[in-house]
Amino acid sequence: MRYSHLFGKTSKNAPSDADSPNARLLEQGGFVEHVMAGVYSWLPLGLSVLRKAEQIIREEMNALGGQEIFMPSLQPKEYWDKTGRWDSVDILFKIKSQTDKMYALGCSHEEVVTPLAQKFTRSYKELPLMLYQINTKFRDELRAKSGVLRGREFRMKDMYSFHTSQADLDAYYARVKEGYVKAFARCGLDVKVVEASGGIFTKKISHEFQALTPSGEDTLIACGSCEFGQNVEVATQKEGDACPNCGKPLVKTKGIEVGNIFDLGKKFPEDFGFDYMDETGAHKPLVMGCYGIGTTRLVGAIVEAHHDDKGIIWPKSVAPFQVEIVPLKSKDEEKQKLVEATVSALEKDLAERGIETLVDDRDKGAGEKFADADLIGIPLRLVVSEKSLAAGGVEWKERAAAEAKSVPLEGLGAEIASWLKS
Ligand SMILES: [Zn+2]
């Protein structure tokens, strides 16, 4: 991809209303564009990151036996009346059609997935059943804030599981916990699995997956040595107490909730009269779990965890491009031709290796190109110039490293491919 053709531009100035690093850097870098409070358009750079993060999550949900479906955001009020949540969920968007019929814009999909699963599931032989989707969600937030972290419209992966027994749900719940930690690690995030309240879903304790960053909106009591952590809203421990797992002192820290899992018990199957037949033909109640990951929020959390004062530092796994080639103009016509030919050959070589490359072919000076490269945060920057060619090749600069080095052109494609795998 040539930068001059890429839709979306970087901006020298931070948006005036940006209240967090992700809001500032994603907008300044041309990843997203603010439409109104809590609502964003995703531009090609941002959409590329979002799709990669969602694909990682999709792979991990498939590995957990999940089957992907796609459910409507526009949902009948009657379903929400059945579960009693039409009146109890304060952030539910409610809309009225021109015929005065009322609809919900889904903030969650228990009301749709439960009757859907019921339609096709009769017997214990068809259980457990795990269904998930990656879809747009709506929340009528009083105060949208923190860029893409707390929006009114956002994307989310939500999975729902149906089981014949509490023991079967408990075993699956534990597997999902591990699958989530793996999915977040692949996206470049270290998360703590912390106990939290069930929120609008259940009275039981749930688990949150918290990415630890200083700008996080949740306060946690966590152990620095082991996995233990609790959201302060349910904490039975306080700062300085000995960790119940390992005895080290607990500390107060900030986190961004990137995922959550809930044991929903029998509520939703009971609301819809959904049961199953066991081996003896008797009708038995089902138990249900739900598992969420906010994917647009996840992109924001990755930025919060991976940036410096110059811009974003994308993990390789979710970067919009893996390599950015920055050609610098030469005043000498022959040398300029050599720069251009080198860039074209390198671009072709990388394309053949399946490496996504952005070439900054814009008519701009070195300073501006380097500042933009730091801002958009592609993992590897290669400078091709009269000077680099005289030194025998290209200048290799990793976004996460302080120093640049000169590398020869020969074998460069293979070296990049192996660095990307490392
Ligand atoms: Zn501990």
Which tokens belong to 279? 């081996």
- pLDDT tens by residue, the chain, 422 residues: 999 999 999 998 888 878 889 999 999 999 999 999 899 999 999 999 999 999 999 999 999 999 999 999 999 999 999 999 999 999 999 999 999 999 999 999 999 999 999 999 999 999 999 999 999 999 998 888 888 888 999 999 999 999 999 999 999 999 999 999 999 999 999 899 998 876 655 567 799 999 988 878 899 999 888 878 898 988 888 999 999 999 999 999 999 999 999 999 999 999 999 999 999 999 999 999 999 999 999 999 999 999 999 999 999 999 999 999 999 999 999 999 999 999 999 999 999 999 999 999 999 999 999 999 999 999 999 999 999 999 999 999 999 999 999 999 999 999 999 999 99
CA 233–ligand 1 middle distance (angstroms): 19
Q: What is the DSSP string of 207-237?
A: EEEEEE-TT-SEEEEEESSSS-EEETTT-SS
Which pLDDT score, from 0 to 100, does residue 234 have? 86
Q: Give 94's strand partners.
A: 104
- Residues 6+ away with beta carbon under 8 Å from 421: none
348 sits in which H/E element: helix 333-352
CA 257–ligand 1 middle distance (angstroms): 20
Q: Give 161's strand partners.
A: 130, 289
Q: Give 157's strand partners.
A: 134, 293
CA 187–ligand 1 middle distance (angstroms): 25
Q: What is the DSSP string of 26-43?
A: HHHTTSEEEEETTEEEE-
CA 243–ligand 1 middle distance (angstroms): 5
User: Residue 329 gets which letter from DSSP?
Assistant: -
Tell me the whole-structure pTM to 2 decimals. Answer: 0.95
Which tokens belong to 257? 């909730």
CA 246–ligand 1 middle distance (angstroms): 4
CA 177–ligand 1 middle distance (angstroms): 18
CA 189–ligand 1 middle distance (angstroms): 20
CA 252–ligand 1 middle distance (angstroms): 13
